A and B are shown apart, each in its own frame.
Chain A
Amino acid sequence: MSAWILVPAVFASLLALGWAGRLAGQKATGNAPTYRDMPLAVAFGYAFALALVVAGVWLYLQPATLDGAPRASVIFWRWAVHFLAASAVAAFVFRLAGRHIGTEGTKKAFRNMPLTAAFGILVVLIYALTAIFAGWIAPHGQSQVFATANVVPGGNAALGGNPEFPLGTDQIGRDILSRLIYGAQNTVGIAFATTLLAFFLGGTLGFLAATLQGWVDQVLSRLVDVLMAIPSLIFSLLLITVASAWVSGAGLTAAMVVIIAVIDSTRVFRLSRAVGMNIVVMDYIEAAKLRGEGLTYLIFREILPNATAPLLAEFGLRFCFVFLTISALSFLGLGIQPPLADWGTMVKDLSAFINYAAFAPQIASAPLLAAGAIALLTVAVNFVVDWMLQRSSGLKE
């Protein structure tokens, strides 16, 4: 019941604070236009933001333990603040380095790059390196089972940790850190391969439809219309059910890759057909046709090079989408199959640990790290694509 009194009280006091702040600003600056024309709602917004900042700083400065017990909210809040601060500094340093190192072209690109885009590029680079060198970085194998199960993260032996497993082990004794690192290779690698396949399929068919037109275009377009009328997650689940009757384990993972690539290629088909339609009416295509060039030459040497820019931005977005779909399927237990380590499956397997967050925050961090790894990469790719789109279209708004 107290919430019914607390919320209006906080609202009223923030409103009063905003009003008083505006009045103080008017008096102090001799009625400067900024304060004179400020609506009360905006003043309230400033008061609200101020209250948020004060509350955040207050929570950060609270002691992390109370009577010997850890205070989980404070610890989680500190981790979040440290992570945000570290990523801001890293992105800033990375952008600074980019402005001074490299060729003229890259230096120029870094010069007016927003911090979010620099952060995105940095994260994508780190993920790519982790994925490629996972075998060297990871301290243990991805499906190596140790006798010590349920080791607590942190490596503090007094709390049940083990320095050999910095992030602990899962229920059956596999090292969580190694599985997170191998997850980059498996989850990101499989999503990347799926996106490539989807682009190869959708792009080829889309350009084919644009070049040949007529009945080929009609048949392909109507087929794509039908496939797009079924929600993609539902359709892929249906097809995976069918596939699971024949294959299991690694075979099911491969079947999932093909299924998602086919379903996703419908979206690529739409775009590449639309882009291709604009290109095939150009004079140089007519010239190539008159020269007697074949269909393959037309598609891959004439149309494709001129369609790279829009397809590249689409590739980033499609990758995010495929990556999220595969993670969701793995989370449901129907995507990437064990023994391959993968983030979606890890979240599902470790999710029960979240319930211990109140008295042992570090235990709860394991499933959140796996889920956060997925979120971080998609956020980073979205930041980069956002910046690329804004740069290529010159949009100001």
Chain B
Amino acid sequence: MHPVLKIILQRLALGLLTLFIVSIVIFTAVNMLPGDFAQAILGQSATPEAVAAIRRDLGLDQPYVVRYFGWLTDMLQGNLGISYAQLNFQSNMGGQNLKTVADQIAPRFANTMFLAGVAAVIAVPFAVTLGVLAALYRNSAFDKAVNVGTLTSISSPEFFLAYILVLFLAVLNPLLPSIANIYQGISLADRLTATLLPALTLTLVVTAHMMRMTRAAIINLLASPYIEMARLKGVSPFRIIVKHALPNAWAPIINVIALNLAYLITGVVVVEVVFNYPGIGQLFVDAVKNRDIPVVQACCLIFAAAYILLNLAADILSMLANPRLRHPK
């Protein structure tokens, strides 16, 4: 077997193991809560017999390990349960069509992925270009200005950047909507306009880190002898960086890009709340406030899975970008 394939398979197995352990942690944390599904469904005035009956029906009287594996197989089949809020709604209104957690999460998950995707499409080229330029003109006024600017945007809380953008691009100059109104059947152009302001906020948050790492990776390489050689034979500075330094700097840059995309996944929570964006982050925060356990559990697992997958992707991609690993002797 090709050694790279072997390493990748090892990493994948390790990632799956991590995900498995993380699911145990999430399940345990949620099961520390007093009361359970049966009590939540019946409310405060439930008789002990009724609670016991529902527990038996739902299998909540089973041992812990059995319940965990039951929950895990449900999750893997996409059966995320029914949210408590929906249950209350149903018992009050007498409605029939109960929305499952999966029904609630699916469209919001798509929205969040769209937001993160737009942010990544803007941020990655922007950050790499800025990083290359800062490395090219290092220690110049441009480099220093970019350095102070990125340090400021790394340090600012997401909501500060979001409100500054709202102030200038939505309130003072009404170019973009400050509330992301996304409805079913929205056209792509409207969707992009509504997503742009949250996406720009996320761009500001992640660009700084990616740009600094790109700059550092390139500058690290500029001290190597083969760059010195290229410089001595009269290659222009721009060509040195793009043709000679960048190919060898890809591994750390790809790594930091994937890590920042993983950061995007958690960064969306605050940004979605600021712009009232109907994504999974907002759903998560609402569920935490209402203590809607099935939703919290499902969102947590999705966020953790995305985070682990992107970290895994960072590992694998940076290995693939390394020619010494791709072509072993």
Name A residues whose Cβ lies closer than 8 Å to a Cβ of B: 39, 42, 45, 49, 72-73, 76, 116, 225-227, 229-235, 237-242, 244-246, 320, 324, 327-328, 331-334, 344, 347-348, 351, 354-355, 357-358, 364, 367-368, 371-372, 374-375, 378-379, 381-383, 386, 397
Contact status of A333 and B296, CB under 8 A, knowing A229-B304, A231-B262, A364-B167: no
Q: How far is the CB of B202 from chain A (nearest CB, A)?
A: 14
Q: Is B178 an interface residue (CB 8 A)?
A: yes
Within 8 A of A (CB), among B32-48: 32-35
- Given A116, A244, A332, A371, which contacts B273 in the complex, CB threshold below 8 Å? A332
Pair B166/A378 contact, Cβ less than 8 Å: no
Pair A237/B160 contact, Cβ less than 8 Å: no
Pair A240/B167 contact, Cβ less than 8 Å: no
17 CB-based A-B contacts, threshold 8 Å: A45-B142, A73-B168, A76-B167, A229-B308, A229-B311, A231-B266, A231-B304, A234-B284, A242-B29, A246-B34, A324-B157, A328-B269, A328-B270, A332-B269, A334-B289, A372-B160, A383-B151
CA distance in complex: A240, B291 (Å): 10
Q: Is B7 an interface residue (CB 8 A)?
A: no
Q: How far is the CB of B287 from chain A (nearest CB, A)?
A: 8
Pick out which of these stretches binds chain A: B17-25, B51-59, B74-82, B190-198. B17-25
CA distance in complex: A358, B273 (Å): 23
Contact status of A237 and B284, CB under 8 A, knowing A354-B163, A357-B167: yes
CB-CB contacts of B198-240 with A at 8 A, as 1s and 0s? 0000000000000000000001000000000000000000100
Q: How far is the CB of A274 from chain B (nearest CB, A)?
A: 19
CB-CB contacts of B89-100 with A at 8 A, as 1s and 0s? 000000000000
**Which of B34, B238, B269 has most chain A Cβ within 10 Å?**
B269
B residues in contact with A242, CB < 8 Å: 29-30, 32-33
**Which of A73, A237, A331, A378 has most chain B Cβ within 10 Å?**
A237
- Given A76, A354, A372, which contacts B166 in the complex, CB threshold below 8 Å? A354
CA distance in complex: A85, B194 (Å): 36
Query: For chain A, what secondary structure do more than half of its interface residues adopt (helix, strand, loop), or is it mixed?
Result: helix
Pair B172/A358 contact, Cβ less than 8 Å: yes
Task: Give the total number of A-B pairs whose CB atoms are below 8 A apart.
Answer: 157
B residues in contact with A232, CB < 8 Å: 266
A residues in contact with B274, CB < 8 Å: 351
Question: What is the chain A residue whose CB lies nearest that of B263?
Answer: A231
Pair A239/B29 contact, Cβ less than 8 Å: yes
B residues in contact with A237, CB < 8 Å: 269, 284-285, 288, 296, 300
Question: What is the chain B residue whose CB lies nearest that of A116?
Answer: B148
- Given A116, A328, A386, which contacts B159 in the complex, CB threshold below 8 Å? A328
Pair B157/A375 contact, Cβ less than 8 Å: yes
Q: How far is the CB of A361 from chain B (nearest CB, A)?
A: 9
Question: What is the chain A residue whose CB lies nearest that of B138?
Answer: A397
Question: What is the chain A residue whose CB lies nearest that of B145?
Answer: A49
Q: Is B164 an interface residue (CB 8 A)?
A: yes
Q: How far is the CB of A2 from chain B (nearest CB, A)?
A: 12
Q: How far is the CB of B322 from chain A (nearest CB, A)?
A: 23
Nearest 3 Cβ contacts at the A-B interface? A378-B155, A371-B160, A375-B156
Pair B155/A375 contact, Cβ less than 8 Å: yes
The count of residues in chain B whose C-beta lies closer than 8 Å to any C-beta of chain A is: 57
A residues in contact with B156, CB < 8 Å: 371, 374-375, 378-379
CA distance in complex: A235, B25 (Å): 10
Q: How far is the CB of A248 from chain B (nearest CB, A)?
A: 11
Q: Is B68 an interface residue (CB 8 A)?
A: no
Contact status of A229 and B265, CB under 8 A, knowing A72-B172, A375-B156, A379-B152: no
Q: Is B321 an interface residue (CB 8 A)?
A: no
Q: How far is the CB of A70 from chain B (nearest CB, A)?
A: 11
- Given B22, B163, B266, which contacts A371 in the complex, CB threshold below 8 Å? B163
Other A-B pairs beyond A331-B273, A382-B151, 14, CB < 8 Å: A76-B167, A226-B25, A231-B303, A234-B284, A237-B296, A238-B30, A241-B293, A331-B157, A331-B159, A332-B273, A333-B289, A344-B157, A379-B151, A386-B151
Q: How far is the CB of A120 from chain B (nearest CB, A)?
A: 10
Pair A328/B158 contact, Cβ less than 8 Å: yes
CB-CB contacts of B130-162 with A at 8 A, as 1s and 0s? 000000011001100000100110111111100
A residues in contact with B178, CB < 8 Å: 355
B residues in contact with A397, CB < 8 Å: 138, 219
A residues in contact with B304, CB < 8 Å: 229-231, 234
A residues in contact with B291, CB < 8 Å: 241, 244-245
Pair A238/B296 contact, Cβ less than 8 Å: yes
Contact status of A382 and B155, CB under 8 A, knowing A234-B300, A332-B273, A354-B171: yes
Pair B29/A238 contact, Cβ less than 8 Å: yes
Within 8 A of A (CB), among B269-285: 269-270, 273-274, 284-285
Q: How far is the CB of B118 from chain A (nearest CB, A)?
A: 19
CB-CB contacts of B1-32 with A at 8 A, as 1s and 0s? 00000000000000000100110011001101
**Which of B163, B168, B308 has most chain A Cβ within 10 Å?**
B163
A residues in contact with B270, CB < 8 Å: 328, 331-332
Q: Is B84 an interface residue (CB 8 A)?
A: no
CA distance in complex: A246, B33 (Å): 8
Question: What is the chain B residue whose CB lies nearest that of A333?
Answer: B289
Q: How far is the CB of B283 from chain A (nearest CB, A)?
A: 12
CA distance in complex: A76, B168 (Å): 10
B residues in contact with A39, CB < 8 Å: 238
Pair A334/B159 contact, Cβ less than 8 Å: no
